[in-house]
A and B are shown apart, each in its own frame.
Chain A
Amino acid sequence: MTQIQNDQELLELFKNPATKEQAFTGIVKKYQEKLYWHIRRMVISHDDTDDVLQNMFIKVWKGLENFREDSQLYTWLYRIATNESLTFLAQQKKRSSLSLSDDENGLSNQLKSDTHFDANKLEWKLQLGIQSLPEKQRLVFNLRYYDEMPYEEMSRVLETSEGALKASYHHAAKKIEEFILNH
């Protein structure tokens, strides 16, 4: 089937009105899980992730015709997902009129309210540690730690120099380590 088509083929199919939907479905299928987890680790709740994921794909549908193919589709999608996640978090912050640190606590509270949450388990401590980071550091940590994204690619997604990303990852890991040790 068309599931593992390469990006170039998918983009070509998208240009043709007769195969536009088929191409779009191919793109969704190919990237949905990676993007879902990228968003989920930022916004925490499944329902919010689902909203953000759908919104980002609507933007992909609308923007793909203008997509410049000198940029990688994968990078472009990650960038939209990142932007949509940050926009969502900013809106949430605005809605609840919380300060940045309160918002981080809000995400931590969401983690704690998860039915599977277990404060004694290391993996949950790790999640709480990640949520204690500022947004940008959290993004960098997640992209490197979970998505194993090379710095070169990450720098295209986050528009930050590789050096700054390395430093950011270093600080993030140290902070999480400290958090785990102290909790």
Chain B
Amino acid sequence: MEKALEILKELQNISPSLAEIVKVNVFHVPDHYFEEIPNKVLTTVFLHQDEKITDQKVPEGYFDDLSNKILARIRNSNIESAEDEIRAISPILFSIKDKNVFTVPENYFENLKGKIIDKLSDREAKVISISSGRKWWKYAAAAVVAGGITIGSWQIFNNRSTTENGDKVLTTSAKIPDYIKLSFQYKTPEQLENGIASLSNNEIATYLEKHGNIMDDDILANDIDPNELPDTKDYLMNDNTLNNFLNAIDLHDSNKNIQ
């Protein structure tokens, strides 16, 4: 093996005489020891578990309250209890947890929020039904569409040039995309609002899938107080943390973003 040769060369450089010694295993193992280990270990594991239970004295009324205690623990189970558990099982594993054993790519934490929100956007686009009562999403969608149309309108207005006789004309109409052309019909904010209201959920969803990412980030960023965000550790450990957080935050202020 290349690895073995490399190691042998290394030892030859350090100590040629040591490298000369033929590797002989001086230790002896009882016959069939390795064949029996798996069963032996499994038996020990289970005996060990039994011992733990039988060794304990059961306080009076212990079993009456056991189910409630377990349920309470399940409800309260969080990262800390998992940490306590691994600390009890193996202190070295616990100490490794926060050290560089689990290496983190450079700038990982700086980019984490964006990554999660991107993932979240993907997931929400697939899972959330717009008509399911999650109003904020609808508002967000409307905001994105309104943004698109408004930008479109702005482009149009800026692309108009004035003819010699003072009439404004469009100079780039041949290149104008359909959704911008749509904005021509909206002359007033009221008309624009009515136009948005007339869009179907599917149209909004399709638009969001194509153009929603940047606007999603902005809307979420405006509505989330960074001080209220769950700890990074929490959502690293538990996929549900961020979902729970998003379900809990108050996004009805998204109205503000809609014009």
Binding site for B on A (CB under 8 A): 21, 24-25, 28-29, 32-33, 36, 40, 46, 50, 53-54, 57-59, 61-63, 66, 68, 70-71, 76, 79-80, 83, 114, 116-117, 121-124, 126-127, 144-146, 148, 150, 156, 159, 169-170, 173-174, 176-177, 180-181
**Of B34-42, B59-67, B142-150, B188-196, the one with at least 4 CB within 8 A of chain A:** B34-42
Closest residue to A26 on the B side, CB-wise?
A: B38
Give the complex CA separation of A176 and B44 in angstroms. Answer: 38
Shortest B161–chain A CB gap in Å is 59
CB contact between B86 and one of A61, A66, A127 (< 8 Å): that residue: A66
Closest residue to B37 on the A side, CB-wise?
A: A32
Give the complex CA separation of A117 and B40 in angstroms. Answer: 29
Tell me whether B40 and A54 are in contact (CB under 8 A): yes
Give the complex CA separation of A62 and B173 in angstroms. Answer: 69
Tell me whether A156 and B101 are in contact (CB under 8 A): yes
B contact residues, total (Cβ < 8 Å): 42
Closest residue to A156 on the B side, CB-wise?
A: B101
Within 8 A of A (CB), among B194-239: none
Say what secondary structure dominates the interface of chain A. Answer: helix
Shortest B159–chain A CB gap in Å is 52
Known A32-B38, A116-B28, A126-B21; judge A57-B7 contact (CB<8 A): no
Give the complex CA separation of A124 and B137 in angstroms. Answer: 74
Tell me whether A71 and B101 are in contact (CB under 8 A): yes
Give the complex CA separation of A174 and B90 in angstroms. Answer: 34
Whether B249 is near chain A, meaning CB under 8 Å from some CB there, is no
Q: Cβ of B28: which chain A residues have Cβ within 8 Å of it?
A: 46, 116
Tell me whether A180 and B18 are in contact (CB under 8 A): yes
Tell me whether A80 and B17 are in contact (CB under 8 A): no
Within 8 A of A (CB), among B85-118: 85-86, 89-90, 92-93, 96-97, 99, 101-103
Q: Cβ of A59: which chain B residues have Cβ within 8 Å of it?
A: 89-90
Shortest B93–chain A CB gap in Å is 6
Q: Cβ of B33: which chain A residues have Cβ within 8 Å of it?
A: 46, 50
Tell me whether B42 and A25 are in contact (CB under 8 A): yes
Give the complex CA separation of A176 and B19 in angstroms. Answer: 11
CB contact between A79 and one of B11, B38, B92 (< 8 Å): that residue: B92
Ordered by A's residue number, 11 sampled pairs between the chains whose C-beta atoms are within 8 Å are A21-B42, A24-B45, A58-B44, A58-B48, A117-B26, A123-B26, A148-B1, A169-B10, A173-B11, A173-B14, A181-B17
